């Protein structure tokens, strides 16, 4: 094997890359790529790029995430209002406005690692920019939401209802001597789903073992100061070409971490960027006490609102943060749960609340926490997988792939951490394990979970093997007459659902309808019909009465035959009223609007939207094209008049 060349060992199904005496490797196991990267940030990035070059170039995940803002601009209503000769200039100004502050605040080590990947692939200036911007995709989305979605708006994307979730159990909540986990008197389980747009580019699941050689730098008095301590090893669960900074990881001190994007008015362009901030916590903290101390550091600010859930074998906490406030929520009664929302009164007050999204995130939190609480003392790895992959619509008592408790169609990684509870001074990382869902999205949480163990130096233990674990055919939280075990037809339906999402982003409404109809052919989930009706209503913008009549027929069928959460039911009635308005049936529309306005606990969004519709009939020009939230494309509850 020569230095500076990739060596392939076909017998071991392994690749090697060595440079300046630092050996990095790529292995394949159970459908996963396992990267062992050694060196400083640039060297680790370069080895990453050399070992996974083919996969990175084929999928172009960097192009997908790095081009978010450009796609937004090209698909929005804004572009139609700008003269053709100014559009390119306007796009550049918009890009500079959003990206420049992020790039300035990005840690140098993050830039170096991404540039290492780019250099290994021979990418030029534009691609290098995209690569760096791709890792800020969650930040970009949060800033777009905070800046563009006003009270009274809702988006079509909300009806797909994606969202991360986590369940934690320790000590007395766990069943002793479970079939899979034995000989650990003091341990905890953390199950975590990561949901994010882009299921069709997240095709190469990768477990990245990073073994840094650089000195640790700490934030002190607003500046980064280098220490004499070497940065601790860590892993991320990610995909080829996407290092995964700060999303789902574990460090060699036994701290596991999961990130949850939240929406808040407190979203600024000052302070450290979100993904750097999370990566900083994971790589610097050696104990939960360290995490709490970091929360007290006034210099450690965050540009983007989110929750960082951190756990070890003894406890879990949710570190809530926006650009102004910080707070910590501790685990209680040996269990803990988290979805995409704030609990702290300070942070919750400034949270952007959209009815459908709030219904979903709060509802899913309630489901997870209740399941943990009801089965405390009997929880096992198997049951934690059951909880994190639940797809039961509790309101109807039936299986639901979208709806109140959906299937997590956009789950791109799902993992269960088994965390040993020893004191840090005597810590043995080899007593930890991760169980990672195999295969590719959508909905990887329904696939088998494979175990990955560690050696004492925090490298991958290739000999630590065991049978995979899958969700139960009839999960204990789903024992109802309407429960249907997840099957291949459901999986196929979710693929078409995801295709429909991608086409809505691109404004391909006709194809979006065709694919949601194909999804219904495989599994006729009521959520699919709900989405199809909304797209037909959106397509009424082109002046087609037939599209609006189809939407009305489908909404009416749903109202008669299915039950939905309060926000979704209200939105359903609002949509029916709008269909009547667009078909010239004003009296029927008014009846619908009055029925909504008299409901108890109606959210501010709906009050504004319905009051506006009572005063003035809903018209075609109030349906716009802008792709605001997650680029799925909004269907606004109302649109302010230009005057």
Among the ranges 130-134, 471-475, 542-546, which has the highest mean pLDDT value? 130-134
Among 63, 61, 78, smallest CA distance to 627 is for 78
Give pLDDT, residue 299.
77
Residues facing residue 212 across a β-bridge: 39
Is a pLDDT exceeding 80 seen at residue 451?
yes
Among 492, 486, 538, smallest CA distance to 515 is for 492
Give pLDDT, residue 504.
75
Helix (H, G, I), strand (E, B) or coil at 480: coil
Mean pLDDT of the chain, nearest integer: 82
The tens digit of pLDDT for each residue in 169-192 reads 998 899 864 444 444 457 899 999
The tens digit of pLDDT for each residue in 52-68 reads 999 999 888 888 887 76
More confident residue, 79 or 195: 195
Element (H, E) at 103: helix 84-105
Helix (H, G, I), strand (E, B) or coil at 482: strand
pLDDT band at 143 (very low <50, low <70, confident <90, very high): low
Indicate the DSSP class of residue 175.
P
The tens digit of pLDDT for each residue in 107-116 reads 889 999 999 9
Rounded Cα distance, 274 and 260, in Å: 11
Q: Provide the percentage of residues in the chain whose pLDDT is more than 70.
A: 81
Is a pLDDT exceeding 70 seen at residue 382?
yes
Is a pLDDT exceeding 50 seen at residue 633?
no
Give pLDDT, residue 46.
96
Strands 7-9 and 14-19: antiparallel
Rounded Cα distance, 279 and 282, in Å: 5
Give pLDDT, residue 54.
93
Give pLDDT, residue 223.
80
Give pLDDT, residue 71.
65
pLDDT band at 487 (very low <50, low <70, confident <90, very high): confident
Rounded mean pLDDT, 562-584: 88
Rounded Cα distance, 189 and 171, in Å: 10
- Token pair of 174 as six digits: 């766990």
Rounded Cα distance, 134 and 188, in Å: 33
What lies within 8 Å, CB to CB, of 405 at 6+ separation is 363, 364, 367, 390, 391, 392, 393, 394
This prediction has a pTM of 0.91
Q: Which string of DSSP letters, residue by residue, matches 381-415?
A: HHHHHHHHT--EETTTTEE-SSSSS---TTEEEEE
- Among 78-82, 210-214, 435-439, 571-575, the range scoring the smallest mean pLDDT is 78-82
Angle, helices 68-75 vs 137-148, to 10°: value is: 30
Is a pLDDT exceeding 70 seen at residue 271?
no
Could you tell me the residue ranges of all domains in the chain? 27-147, 185-197+215-478, 487-631
Domain 185-197+215-478 CATH class label:
alpha beta
Instruction: Please give the CATH architecture assigned to the domain spanning 487-631.
Output: Alpha Horseshoe (1.25)
Q: Are 146 and 267 in contact (CB under 8 A)?
A: yes
Give pLDDT, residue 638.
33
What lies within 8 Å, CB to CB, of 496 at 6+ separation is 515, 516, 518, 519, 522
Rounded Cα distance, 634 and 636, in Å: 6
The tens digit of pLDDT for each residue in 15-60 reads 999 999 899 999 999 999 999 999 999 999 999 999 999 999 988 8
Give pLDDT, residue 354.
72
Give pLDDT, residue 179.
46
Q: Are 376 and 399 in contact (CB under 8 A)?
A: no
Give pLDDT, residue 629.
30
Among 361, 349, 347, smallest CA distance to 306 is for 347
- In this chain, the answer to whether the domains covering 185-197+215-478 and 487-631 adopt an identical fold is no
Rounded mean pLDDT, 86-94: 71
Q: Are 457 and 51 in contact (CB under 8 A)?
A: no
Rounded Cα distance, 4 and 23, in Å: 10
Give pLDDT, residue 166.
95
- Token pair of 22 as six digits: 């630092």
């Amino acid at each position: 094997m020569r230095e500076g060349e990739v060596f392939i060992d076909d017998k071991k199904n392994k690749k090697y890359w060595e440079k300046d005496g630092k050996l990095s490797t790529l292995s394949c196991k159970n459908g996963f790529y396992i990267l062992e990267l050694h060196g400083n940030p640039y060297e680790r990035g370069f080895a990453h790029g050399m070992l996974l070059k083919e996969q990175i170039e084929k999928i172009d995940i960097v192009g997908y995430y790095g081009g978010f803002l450009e796609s937004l601009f090209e698909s929005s209503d804004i572009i139609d209002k700008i003269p053709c000769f100014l559009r390119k200039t306007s796009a550049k100004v918009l890009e500079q406005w959003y990206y420049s502050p992020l790039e300035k605040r990005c840690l140098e080590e993050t830039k170096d690692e991404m540039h290492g990947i780019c250099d290994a692939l021979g990418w030029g200036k534009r691609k290098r920019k995209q690569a760096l911007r791709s890792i800020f995709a969650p930040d970009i989305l949060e800033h777009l939401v905070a800046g563009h979605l006003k009270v009274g708006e809702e988006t079509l994307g909300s009806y797909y209802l994606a969202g991360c979730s986590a369940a934690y159990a320790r000590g007395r909540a766990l069943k002793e001597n479970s079939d899979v986990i034995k000989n650990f008197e003091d341990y905890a389980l953390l199950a975590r789903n990561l949901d994010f747009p882009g299921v069709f580019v997240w095709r190469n699941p990768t477990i990245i073992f990073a073994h840094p050689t650089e000195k640790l730098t700490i934030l002190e008095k607003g500046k980064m100061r280098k220490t004499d301590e070497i940065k601790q090893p860590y892993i991320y669960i990610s995909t080829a070409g996407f290092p995964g900074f700060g999303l789902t990881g574990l460090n060699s001190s036994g701290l596991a971490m999961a990130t949850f994007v939240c929406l808040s008015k407190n979203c600024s362009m000052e302070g450290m960027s979100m993904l750097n901030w999370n990566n900083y916590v994971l790589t610097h903290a050696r104990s939960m006490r360290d995490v709490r101390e970091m929360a007290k550091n006034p210099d450690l600010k965050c540009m983007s609102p989110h929750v960082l859930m951190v756990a070890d074998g003894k406890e879990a906490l949710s570190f809530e943060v926006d650009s102004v406030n910080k707070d910590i929520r501790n685990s209680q009664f040996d269990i803990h749960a988290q979805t995409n929302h704030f609990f702290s009164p300070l942070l919750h007050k400034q949270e952007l609340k959209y009815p459908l999204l709030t219904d979903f995130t709060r509802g899913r939190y309630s489901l997870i926490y209740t399941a943990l609480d009801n089965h405390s003392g009997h929880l096992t790895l198997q049951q934690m997988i059951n909880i994190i992959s639940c797809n039961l619509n509790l309101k109807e008592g039936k299986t639901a792939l979208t709806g109140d408790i959906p299937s997590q169609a956009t789950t791109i990684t799902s993992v269960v951490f088994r965390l040993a509870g020893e004191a840090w001074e005597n810590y043995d990382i080899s007593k930890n394990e991760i169980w990672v869902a195999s295969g590719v999205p959508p909905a990887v949480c329904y696939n088998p979970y494979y175990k990955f163990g560690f050696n004492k130096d925090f490298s991958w233990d290739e000999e630590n093997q065991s049978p995979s674990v899958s969700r139960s055919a009839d999960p204990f939280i789903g024992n109802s007459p309407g429960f249907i075990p997840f099957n291949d037809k459901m999986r196929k339906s979710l693929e078409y659902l995801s295709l429909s999402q991608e086409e809505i982003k691109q404004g391909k409404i006709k194809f979006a309808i065709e694919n949601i109809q194909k999804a219904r052919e495989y599994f006729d989930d009521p959520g699919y019909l709900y989405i199809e009706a909304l797209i037909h209503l959106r397509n009424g913008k082109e002046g087609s009465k037939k599209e609006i009549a189809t939407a009305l027929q489908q909404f009416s069928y749903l109202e008669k035959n299915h039950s939905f959460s309060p926000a979704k039911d209200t939105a359903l009635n609002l949509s029916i009223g709008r269909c009547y308005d667009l078909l010239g049936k004003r009296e029927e529309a008014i009846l619908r609007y009055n029925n909504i306005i008299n409901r108890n606990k109606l959210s501010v969004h709906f009050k504004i939207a319905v009051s506006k519709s009572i005063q003035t009939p809903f018209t075609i020009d109030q349906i716009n094209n802008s792709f605001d939230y997650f680029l799925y494309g909004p269907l606004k509850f109302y649109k302010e008049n230009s005057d």
